A and B are shown apart, each in its own frame.
Chain A
Amino acid sequence: MVDHARHIAGRPDMEAGRETFPASGALNPDASAASAKAPLWSMQQVGFHVAGREILAPLSLELSAGRVYGLIGPNGSGKSTLLKILARQLAPGTGEVRFEGQSLKEWRGRAFARRVAYMPQFMPPSDGMSVRELVALGRYPWHGALGRFGAEDRRMVESAIRRTGLAHFEDRAVDSLSGGERQRAWLALMLAQGAGCLLLDEPTSALDIAHQMEVLTIIRELCAGHEGERMSVIVILHDINLAARTCDELIALRGGRLVAHGPAQEMMQPERLAAIYGLPMGVIAHPVSGKPLSYVL
């Protein structure tokens, strides 16, 4: 939690522009030496292959708690694969991932699910379940197959539904909702899970601009710790401006390789964005907030 300020402060010398970031960009020697606590996530040479093809080149990263990380990059750059590895949906082909200092292999299923919640990119049909029933599934890691669905479970479900603005829909069948409402229902499931870390694969792809802002605001609030524990979020976003606005740091992948990693505002440089997306891009200041806004040239 303390890392937040230090992390940015730790790299004041970060030069804007041409510098290519080393693969271990986050391994800031100052920060890690000073930090008494182990990083939340630590990846060592994590890679992934399918049938001999490299989907993810070995990469090493350390991510700290209480921050919002945005995974950006063009389609097919390995973002979803990386997120699935973190979510234990895929075993890494090479290397090792540690969460809270413990290797992912050693985590038990439910214990891990209490700490980390994952939302897949494509939400499966839910066959007639109501919103409330779907959100209540998020409590499985806590009560297990046989445990009682207790007062605490009810409270968490209630607050998750309220938080995502689904109170009016809670008895509707999930499949009958619009795409955006459905996406929020799945977000509510993750909130009910009560995990300290959320992994989100394009949580706003089906939302209109107002609901996008709403969901991203929820994510920001979670991280700021308005309610209880401060959460960490790793989110894949396609809209670079939204990503820059929401995230503390951006991690850019291209062709399965880590191409850049740094504080969000510093990533908003024309050259850097061009290197990520392979497209000439420009950056201007937001007329009101003054924050950088990117556009395609």
Chain B
Amino acid sequence: MADLALVRPFAVRRGMAWGALFLLGLVLFALVLVRRPELAGDPATVRRLGDVLLWHSLVPRAATALLAGAALGLSGALLQRVLRNPIADPSTLGIAAGAQLALVLALAFAPALVAFSREGTAFAGGVAAVGLVMALSWRRDFEPVTVVVAGMTLSLMAGAASAALILARGDYVFSLFIWGAGSLHQQNWQPALVIGTRLALGVLAAVLLLRPLNVLALNDAGARSLGVAVGGMRCLVIAVAVWLAASVVSQVGVIGFVGLAAPAFARVSGARRPGEVLLAAPLIGALLLWIADGAVQLASAGDGDVIPTGAAVGLIGGPLLLWLLPRLPHHAPPMQAAAGTRRRLRRPGRALLVLLAATGVAGVAALVMGRDLDGWALASGPVLAELAVFRLPRIVAAVAAGGLLGAAGAIMQRLTGNPLAGPEVLGVGAGAGVGLAAALTLDPGAGTALLVGASAAGALGALVIVLVVAALTGFGPERLLLAGIALGCMGLAILSAVFATGGPGSFRLLAWMSGSTDKVGVDEARLMAVAALVLLAPVPLLVRWLDILPLGAAVGTSLGMPVTVGRLALSLLAALMTALSAFFVGPLSLVGLIGPHVARLAGFAPGRAFVLASALIGAAVLLVADWLARSLAFPYQLPTGLMAALIGGPYLIWLLQRGGGENG
């Protein structure tokens, strides 16, 4: 349909914009060269040292930045194409989280392994994570949605486990956060050579796979009828993408966002056919990372970087993506819905009652059961009365937060029609984290009141930005997701930068990230309970909108539903729910993702019962997680959010796996 002759001027203008960015990169690099630190001493030695610095540090660093950016861009483009999901990228599949967990484990338990080969360890971790994801989705023929859900679940679990280890053995592994945030500091050409050779092979593979990739853009049935072995081909493409990303991760650490942003930028710049995107994405990725790294080097005064480059990419790329979103072409690849409901409950009302009763029983059990110094014990009478003061607030907070996250997740998934759209994706949790980080940086010993205020302010700020960007684009679901992710990347970049400074606030921030309810007092619990009731009350009233919205704006409009108002109201509600619960259980709890999926797989049909079931499941998961967190390592406390990720994740994966046999 699109008339090429008329599209071209835009393409030319965008091409010029990228040319200008290339010039910016050159200028930054020149400035870095010019502003090399002056060395004192004998002129001959200085010249020799200067040469060494130039040829063995600065130039290889630029080369590494360019090559790593290109590899990540290509990897992201391949993954987005093959998974047919515009928010898939190397970190979605768990590569980064797997590599990080491997390194943390190795540092904590077998430091010799890391000394032997840091790259090897990280690479093995990344490949193991992806291998697990692939094994889990094998039975479903690598269906895109399953692959990405499994990958995100796995990466959140791995992230939670890393955080727990770092908390437990902080001294040893804290330096990992610098690596974890991606640092391009170089001593030699080796990383550039490694990444370069792998990139060359990756490009070759991509060229060879171009035709099947074109066909894979159709749905599976279409591709299969054209004679493409869908499962095998998808596996092959994913393997190439993983190999590229894992090489980068193992050489220079986790650099997120490039893999996500480069293909998105390519599409915004007018690349439409897969070949064009695959060509443009590596170039754009290289440019992005190069510019970010140049800025980092300029900002740091000689010794060590102020912030890791990976964090800087998020800081620069996030706003860029936010700015470009309203200009994204409209024909984004259609999201594939989860493959039909497998079964439906005949009486959702009765099932809801069962769920409610189960949650109640779990609540009572959590109240009376626990561990004391002699082992497991049931509390009763006066002992119970004494313990209740400590236990009840936690239980109330866990139930309220779980319910809110579950409901927010259900709303987000219905609103966006995307099964990956957990509340984490809105960027609100990350915003709350940035607020906290700011408060803790200014005053490491800040009190609870200040922290709650700061995190609420951060969450609200993030929410306003996401909503403004989404409003500019009519609240299209894809824009909302991308805006949320861009903001989340920025937030996490800021958090990584704060971690990397290693100040006294870092540990408190980390404790918040992994989510803990042990600081909840009676007042906070009361606040949570009231807030949960207030926020959940309007949900039954909005349920008709939730039924209509997944069918798309066209159907909504033709039924006379106020589509924009509805989307605004629902995203506002979901964001408020997320912000409130994230303060108590951290941003990585997985509950918002698990709740709706479990509800769907358990057979709750869309409608009122679905949202309520999702909220109840969320509440139950967090309740159990909180009880486990309190009892497992008694007398020590484990973080609740982490426990939730560790128990909910495997269950979700098991359910996804089991649902495989009976499609449609």
**Docked-complex contact B550 and A127, CB < 8 angstroms:** yes
Q: How many residues of B contact A (CB 8 A)?
A: 33
3 residue pairs, one from A and one from B, having the closest CB atoms: A113-B560, A128-B341, A110-B560
**Docked-complex contact A89 and B557, CB < 8 angstroms:** yes
Question: Which of B6, B554, B560, B600 contacts A140 (CB under 8 A)?
Answer: B560
A29 within 8 A of B: no
Asked if A128 meets B557 with Cβ closer than 8 Å, knowing A52-B6, A145-B544, the reply is: no
**Docked-complex contact B541 and A146, CB < 8 angstroms:** yes
**Docked-complex contact B541 and A145, CB < 8 angstroms:** yes
**Docked-complex contact B3 and A53, CB < 8 angstroms:** yes
A125 within 8 A of B: yes
Question: B664 — nearest CB in chain A belongs to which residue?
Answer: A176
Please report the C-alpha to C-alpha distance between residue A15 and residue B332 in the assembled complex, in whole angstroms: 48
Asked if A127 meets B555 with Cβ closer than 8 Å, knowing A53-B3, A113-B560, A145-B542, the reply is: no
Please report the C-alpha to C-alpha distance between residue A214 and residue B551 in the assembled complex, in whole angstroms: 26
Query: B1-38 toward A: CB 8 Å interface, digit per residue (1/0)?
Result: 11100110000000000000000000000000000000
Instruction: List the interface of chain B (C-beta within 8 A of A).
Output: 1-3, 6-7, 337-338, 340-341, 344, 417, 541-542, 544-545, 547-548, 550-552, 554-555, 557-562, 600, 605-607, 664
**Docked-complex contact A118 and B606, CB < 8 angstroms:** no
**Docked-complex contact A130 and B555, CB < 8 angstroms:** no
Give 16 CB contacts A-B under 8 Å. A76-B1, A87-B558, A109-B561, A109-B562, A119-B558, A120-B552, A127-B337, A128-B606, A133-B606, A140-B548, A145-B544, A145-B545, A173-B340, A173-B341, A175-B337, A176-B664
Contacting residues, chain A, for B2 (C-beta < 8 A): 51
Question: Which of B541, B561, B600, B607 contacts A133 (CB under 8 A)?
Answer: B607
Asked if A127 meets B341 with Cβ closer than 8 Å, knowing A51-B7, A175-B664, the reply is: yes
Question: Which of A76, A120, A124, A141 contacts B560 (CB under 8 A)?
Answer: A141
Asked if A140 meets B544 with Cβ closer than 8 Å, knowing A113-B559, A124-B551, the reply is: yes
Chain B residues touching A, majority SS = loop
Please report the C-alpha to C-alpha distance between residue A213 and residue B7 in the assembled complex, in whole angstroms: 42
Please report the C-alpha to C-alpha distance between residue A127 and residue B338 in the assembled complex, in whole angstroms: 7
B22 to A: closest C-beta gap in Å: 27
Please report the C-alpha to C-alpha distance between residue A141 and residue B365 in the assembled complex, in whole angstroms: 47
**Docked-complex contact B557 and A126, CB < 8 angstroms:** no
Query: A49-70 toward B: CB 8 Å interface, digit per residue (1/0)?
Result: 0011100000000000000000
A14 within 8 A of B: no
A277 within 8 A of B: no
Please report the C-alpha to C-alpha distance between residue A193 and residue B562 in the assembled complex, in whole angstroms: 17
Please report the C-alpha to C-alpha distance between residue A111 and residue B338 in the assembled complex, in whole angstroms: 34
Contacting residues, chain A, for B555 (C-beta < 8 A): 120, 124, 137
Please report the C-alpha to C-alpha distance between residue A89 and residue B554 in the assembled complex, in whole angstroms: 6
Residue among B545, B547, B560, B600 with the most chain A CB within 10 A?
B560
Contacting residues, chain B, for A144 (C-beta < 8 A): 544
Contacting residues, chain B, for A193 (C-beta < 8 A): 559
Contacting residues, chain A, for B545 (C-beta < 8 A): 145
Question: B663 — nearest CB in chain A belongs to which residue?
Answer: A176
Please report the C-alpha to C-alpha distance between residue A141 and residue B560 in the assembled complex, in whole angstroms: 6
Contacting residues, chain A, for B337 (C-beta < 8 A): 125, 127, 175
Contacting residues, chain B, for A145 (C-beta < 8 A): 541-542, 544-545, 561
